[in-house]
Structure 1
Amino acid sequence: MFESNVIVTLEEKIVRIERKFQAPLKLVWEVWTNPLHLEKWWGPKGFSNPTVEFDFKVGGSYRIVMRSPEGIDYPVVGKFLEITPYESFVMSDLVDEHPEEWVKEVQKMAGVRGDRSILNSKLRVLFEEEDNFTQVILITEFMNNQIRDGFAKSGMKEGWSQSFEKLESEALPSPNELVIEKELAHPLDLVYQAFTDSNHIQSWWGPNGFTTTTDSREFRVGGEWIFKMVSEDGKVYPNVIKYKSIQENEYLEYHHGSGSDTKDDDFFVKIWFTPTKNNHTIIKMKMAFSSPEKRNAVVNFGAIEGAHQTLSRLNGYLSK
């Protein structure tokens, strides 16, 4: 079983924390930048995240409310200052909403006094990949070395170590699987109908720039959807989906391949449809491949981006 230790070093006004994950960089990036994944792992063991607002763009804001096992909330807020896709991002880390008792305790450990804003910091998250392993490096910059030391004493290493353990066990999928989750701004019945109606589905299916044409489709258990996807450069991709399970407005399960007997390109898909309190719908897609190598290959080829683009096209189609 893969294990990776957390490495912590102190630099000028900086706490540097490193940890390696057994997954492709794009997959690790996904669980760091998608709020539906973040809520599963952010914070130490026993903490939950009842609120995760994450407008991931330069100038966008975030707010994550961590709730302790005792029911105490620790809201973390800030803005995204820099984003270099699949390389790094920088975010301000403000303690404006943290409990007063926590602020006093950290200030005591740091030996400082004054307004709570002196505890604010800036976090740079770096991603480095080698042979489908991803090194994540956190560089937290504080106002001075005293405050740096106060945070180091307050349990930074332990907190991030536990968060990383949760990331690996709760957010990263199994080595041969890929999980995509996205919230659509439409009610469950409309979203599910878009998957079941042949005219609807070929209007939005596929990444940006692709068109989809249905040859035949029987939406039933045991039925098949035979279709072609054509990219902007005219390349044709034959597809065959065989439906294995259908639970109306809840769940789909199917086998997806090209229909070729000579290609090892088949994978298995499970889709859950979950309504939210604001009348939106969360789609969770789990794709299982024949091996970790096959999963990693499709991730590196762009499967995550393609899946998000497809679901975004669905969201846009339903908004018309």
Structure 2
Amino acid sequence: MTLTQKPSSTAVAPIGDSGGRFATLTFERNVAVPVSVLWQAWTAPAARAVWAAPTPAVKVEFVEADTSIGGREVSLCKVEGQSDIRCECGWLELQPALRSVNYEVISSDGATQSAALITADLADMGEQSRLVVTVQLSSLAGDMEGGYRQGFGAGLDNLANVAERTMVLQKVIQAPRAAVWNAWMNPQTLPLWWGPEGFSCRTKRIDLRQGGEWVFDMIGPDGTVFPNHHRYGEVRPQERIGYTLLWGENGPKHADAWASFEDQDGFTKVTLGMVFSTAAEFQDAKGFGAVELGLQTLGKLDRFVTAK
């Protein structure tokens, strides 16, 4: 996945002469979310997959996504009737909730179109966050400054929209990362602790591999049944999982979600994120206590792992 918004299809077509062009571009946005949420929306592959395409006519396929210093991301921008645009990004600096730096190389039909160094600075503004993105651009196939301005502008608008319907929960689990991962990605143990206090899981089928799914009912303390369907699109052992939440088996999509696992002084910091499909669903989830219930779920994971 690209770290930044890829240019639209016009951005990679030669504009003017074929000589190299250089430009420094700056983009600024105020986003109505805490800076910790904005950071997740900016860096988490599952979130960026939601806002990556500049327009509905562009489809983005993520080939590789390693969100770590030295890691790279590769994606393909697909527009009907045109050659695919390949974007390769590499993470050079990651300071959570403060700054990211990456390079970006755009190519098409095997020819490099542009190279850029991209710096994103985030600032906490209380109820809002500020994002300033600086692009140091070298256009190798004509002057691409206009396309970059258009692409980044659309991308940051999409990002703001996604961030404002993103929910992020975090908890430090008092156990090593391997133990936490094994409790989460074991089909025998996941149903034992998943869900808020007083809830239980009844599994129909479960396959926690990439491309697998978990179809199950969550049963509330009063016996109410909540059908669930998780589809797993990404599994990076002991690092990250990405999955889609559906309203019941093969039902409409409810959210794009991810869980990441980080070492923290021998314990494990778990981040659980969800981009809800609509702003209304996000508000409904907040209204019925999704934050509190989600933290209860992570609390049950903590007790399950530490009791072993």
TM-score under structure 1 normalisation?
0.47
- Structure number with higher relative contact order (C-alpha < 8 Å, ≥ 6 residues apart): 2
Higher strand share: 2
